[in-house]
Homo-oligomer: A and B are copies of this chain.
């Protein structure tokens, strides 16, 4: 049904492939760097090995859940081999991408440490940034490639009318992988962190990153699992969702219009523009002077600025001059709104989590009256940031609706909203890179410490590490907003696919659906907050056991090395076990409600999206504010380290860690997964 010689899907294929080539090229630039001395290599290898242990454990469970969902697709949906195949394709490719990202990151941490040791912060940064860019392009290239392949295969080879629906199953595959990476990874990273801190630092009095601490490797593995695998898959899922939702939507809304085919291809076009812009921006970013954070954020900004005219070209190429497209520039404006939402949310995140602004200073100041006031003011700031973020996004969505409506008339508004989602996500490669940078730098600092290198290297890796905290906070804010906007796009597609004319809250069943939807993020958060506690206490028991049972461990005897692997195993098993309940909730809830009433399901999804977005932003930004307040005091404010103020902010940071790295971001996956489950299984609800 789509012109087989139209060049756009093939171009998307090529550009997605180009992204992977760029990833490989950056990886190749990192590889020749010296891996360092034996001690550096040893710890880097331990971390890499631990990360693979976690991924293996995760993939075993992922295989089980994927088999269950593929079975449900087969049973509940009209029989069609392409749909489960597309689903499994989505699962496998995103799992491979996540695996590759972790491998790249864990291959670069030792090299970053060595480069910083020999050549200082600049040299270390170069290695870390290239590895991070490699992860960024691997994820974004993979995303475009997957959708392009599925698009071509399903539309050309299969070509039946239901092919956009099978395309959506690819996204459900990505969501399934993402559930494990985000929730399981989030629990792993905090359980390992708490285990390392509480027994090693507090009970045994070891310094941070001491090689005698049995949980120290698990802690470093957790950084990679959290900031590379979790963030990467989360954004990859959003990206794929934003690319496929408008196709499913257009197939229904524009079914009889002359611009059906271009409207289906436009998402891929925006994706092409985004990757090309990110490539251009990456080659333009230079690290001069000391302000690395500014250089990295400039990179994101440049990518956005280049993407704007590039997408204009794509929109004009595909949509101008077609009968019925009144104002093609409106479609471009919808994309630009998406790009702008990304910048706006980045700025809001900075206001609340960077120590350059009032919020973090205020939280730090409250440390003078104790931990309770630190918690209260951090919560007040986090809650406020959530209100601002949602306000910014709601404004953007409304503008995108107006732009789309202006461009295409009836049905165009909602299509405009889906275009904003792609616009927002088109430069995801930069964000993935910002996030992947953090664990590489953090690991490098830890390796220098563990390897016992006490010289300039220390100072250099500390600089790198501080940069990572700033970039990590921006990436967290971006994942939430992209999840929210993608969910909105998928939800819009869902309402059209099931043929809903309204989601009417005066109907009691719909109202109850909405209310149930708002409850689920609360329940899920309660589960993940407690899960961290339980997984952490298993870790604590294991670390205590090792100190008790391995004679000479505390003294640091060569003959008594800690069993790092056992800690990684326990964190892996614990985090995956804790996923069963929240994971089941996320998959089962939309299915149950969908079979009862489709309009109630739409209300349910709307409620969970809004409430999840608010809760996630609150938790992530409160966590970021506490983290930065702690750093501010550790840098000497209000008495510095060891003061009562420091004790107070350490409590805040302890609360914030679970908020920002586990429970908050887990909501991203929850709302996306529930909505995509609803969309994929929609034929079963209405059929």
Q: Which residues of A contact B (CB under 8 A)?
A: 198, 366, 369-373, 375-377, 379-381, 383-384, 386-387, 390-391, 394, 397-398, 401, 413, 495, 500-506, 508, 511-512, 514-516, 518-520, 522-523, 525-526, 529-530, 532-533, 540, 602-603, 606-607, 610-611, 614, 618, 650-655, 658
Contacts and interface: CB of A to CB of B under 8 A. Distances in A.
Q: Which 6 A-B pairs have the closest CB atoms?
A: A372-B654, A380-B529, A503-B505, A384-B526, A502-B504, A387-B522
Given A198-B369, A515-B390, A606-B505, A383 B525 contact: yes
B655 A522 contact: no
Contact of A503 (B397, B504, B607): B504
A454 to B, nearest CB: 30
Nearest to A609: B515
Contacts of A514: 606, 610
B516 A372 contact: no
Count of identical protomers in the assembly: 2
A507 to B, nearest CB: 8
A520 B386 CA distance: 11
A529 B514 CA distance: 28
A366 B651 CA distance: 13
Contacts of A532: 376
Contact of A526 (B380, B401, B602, B603): B380
B500 A390 contact: no
A397 to B, nearest CB: 7
B376 A655 contact: yes
A198 B369 CA distance: 8
A495 B506 contact: yes
Contact of A373 (B380, B383, B533, B650): B533
Given A198-B369, A379-B529, 18 more contacts: A366-B533, A370-B654, A371-B651, A372-B652, A375-B375, A376-B532, A377-B530, A377-B533, A383-B522, A387-B526, A391-B516, A394-B516, A495-B506, A501-B506, A503-B504, A505-B602, A518-B610, A518-B614
Contacts of A390: 515, 518-519
Nearest to A653: B372
A642 B511 CA distance: 49
Contacts of A653: 372
Nearest to A617: B522
